[in-house]
Amino acid sequence: CFKLRHMKQQNKSFPLAEDTALPPNHQKFVPNQDVLHFITKPENQAPGDSLKDCSNFDVDKELGFVSKKFDITGLGGAFCRHGFCGLAMNIFTGERYAYALMILQIILFQHNLPLQFFWYDVNCRFKARFKWWALKLREMGVSLPTHVHNISFPLPPFHLNAHVAKCQELNSCSGMKGAARPPGEPTEQKWSILRFLGMTTQYMTRCNRQATIERKLHCMQTYSVVSGPALLMRMGA
């Protein structure tokens, strides 16, 4: 969500890479230092797509932009289809494949969780970058979990119409076994709520900004827990 930015001038005395302050309620956020380290490593900077056989996406400009006004340009995250946030991370540039790769690295390598579907609005391009990245790690001697090779990369229904017809046909979840009927895109639904925090959090310290976002993520998660059973009952009625 690129509405959740943070202005550089609010933390002039603490450079981004040196600011390790965390709020008491920190749970979801990946440390800024870890993200900065990951996105700058050469093996994580997947190349762009020179063929351009689908729409043009800014994420293909792998180096993205660097803002002079904002030290944090947005918020990234991973949500399950039920709307629960697994992790969140600050974004410091324009959109890059490296941020999505780090999410997968945390899920697959750190937590060793099998993943059947990874929903991303530019999966028609990203799935090739993921294979390139996995091959690069194997060449470096990194042991890959067996479930790394069993992931499918469908396009979320919310973004499907932004792709050309051929791409929609090849990457739609309707032809993928086990994908069922996802409810649009939970990530975009949560961004539509969180984005309004950006009007005030951009002026906070980084620590207070994180605390505010973490609190809202927790509230949304609690709402999903409370409303879930009632929704299932209505569906079964």
Distance of CA 209 to the CA centre of its chain: 18
CA distance readout (Å), 147 to 10, 94, 124, 137: 43, 30, 20, 15
Q: Are 158 and 123 spatial neighbours (Cβ–Cβ below 8 Å)?
A: no
Q: Are 46 and 63 in contact (CB under 8 A)?
A: no
With a cut of 60, say whether residue 60 has pLDDT above it. no
Q: Specify the pLDDT at position 235.
A: 66
- Give the C-alpha separation, 153 to 119, whole Å: 6
Predicted confidence band of residue 100 (pLDDT cuts 50, 70, 90): very high
The pLDDT of residue 185 is above 70: yes
Q: How many CA atoms lie within 13 A of 15 on its CB side?
A: 4
Whole-prediction pTM: 0.88
Phi, psi of 31 (to 5 degrees): -55, 140
For the chain, strand residue ranges (E) read 6-7, 70-72, 74-79, 85-91
- How sure is the predictor about 224, in pLDDT bands with cuts at 50, 70 and 90? confident
Q: Provide the pLDDT for residue 75.
A: 95
